Amino acid sequence: MLGDGNFAVVRECVEHTTGREYALKIINKGKCRGKEHMIQNEVAILRRVKHPNIVLLIEEVDTYNELYLVMELVKGGDLFDAITSANRYTERDASGMLYNLASAIKYLHSLNIVHRDIKPENLLVYEHADGSKSLKLGDFGLATVLDGPLYTVCGTPTYVAPEIIAETGYGLKVDIWAAGVITYILLCGFPPFRGSSDDQEVLFDQILMGQLEFPLPYWDNVSETAMELIRSMLEVEVDQRYSSLQVLEHPWVTDEGLCENDHQLSVAGKIKKHFNTSPKVNDTTAGVSVISLDDSFSMQRSGSLDFYQHPAMYWIRPPLLIRRGRFSDEDATRICLPGLPMAPPSLTPPPYPSLPSDSDDSSISSANAVCSPSSPF
């Protein structure tokens, strides 16, 4: 099992004709009554998006009791995992990470989609056969299509934009604010706004004021170009805040003049201190929400893409028979997608097919991954 939430689980599965591994999100409809609109919204958005820096929805099967989402599987851990496990981590690596993230945001914003929950846990690392890496944005549980100002207070407190807290109406640029917070953390290991753990209002007040500091000695070895970009991304005035295109065109992101800033950054220890980087029960290597409301918040403050020529069949680990209405664990292990006849009950699963070799860079979305010019990201 890859993830477990209030009314969904994520399991690993294998497509039997190719041996490709995927993540299967199984949503229990009986446990999410009253939340159906959240599921419908997430799936509708996932159907629309296809980008090398976004975790892809491969296929879906809707049954009476469950909804099954076959997702791209990304096994490299999340953003913090990549940093804390790296032997060497530089400002150029951080630049490459932002390049990937900003590319995904720019694509979403071109479709008028706002993610609303961009955070390190939702940025997964895909490892290519040539040793390079790229980030993929997942978990679209709070994403929505923008057709006017939004007022719902939601997101993850550390990364939430001031206009969300102020309830004055917000739009696409809340994603830029979140990306700015992440960039700050990437370069020093702790967030720009830090309230006490038992008083969220203190954190929100700091965000609303937007008083940004780069304390020494933590920022001694970080370029002024990077700090200038962060200031522009964490601008309280929305009209003055950078757009995704401006972020992508910034010299720090395009890797101009970073040669002298290729020394190692010591942020791993600080990230471990300020964030929970231990293995997470609810970690989803598919980048899909397991619908656990503990990580993100929604509150009122006082005051399928067609990738195949034919339907596919997936073998689930551990053995579990999935049928059109119910599943049991006493028969063959498989998902049968629409158009493919069901096998008789006596069918038993063959041995798991051999998996692609390490050199088989078979991710559907990774062949054209957006990578920074000089960074493994």
**CA 19 to the chain's CA centroid:** 25
CA 48 to chain centre: 16
Residue 117 annotated in active site: yes
Cβ atoms of residues 168 and 161 within 8 Å: no
Q: Which domains does the chain have, with CATH numbers?
A: 79-281+292-299 (1.10.510.10)
pTM, to two decimals: 0.75
Helices (H), the chain: 36-48, 79-85, 91-110, 162-166, 174-188, 200-209, 224-233, 244-249, 268-274
Give the pLDDT score at 162: 98
Catalytic position from the list 81, 117, 139, 175: 117
pLDDT by position in tens, the chain (length 377) = 444 456 788 889 998 888 889 999 998 888 888 878 888 899 999 999 999 999 999 999 999 899 999 999 988 888 888 777 777 788 888 999 999 999 999 999 999 999 999 999 999 998 888 888 899 999 998 999 999 999 999 999 999 999 999 999 999 999 999 999 999 999 988 899 987 666 788 999 999 999 899 988 888 889 999 999 999 999 999 999 999 999 999 999 997 755 556 666 666 556 666 666 555 544 445 554 443 333 444 433 333 222 222 334 555 444 332 222 222 333 323 333 333 333 333 333 333 333 333 333 333 343 344 444 445 55
Do 39 and 67 form a contact (C-beta atoms < 8 A)?
yes
Residue-level pLDDT at 189: 85
Q: Are 98 and 344 in contact (CB under 8 A)?
A: no
Q: Are 22 and 72 in contact (CB under 8 A)?
A: yes
Rounded distance between C-alpha atoms, residue 60 and residue 5, angstroms: 19
**In this predicted structure, what is the pLDDT of residue 375?**
55
* Known binding-site positions for ATP: 25
Name the token pair of 152: 């719902």
pLDDT of residue 183: 96
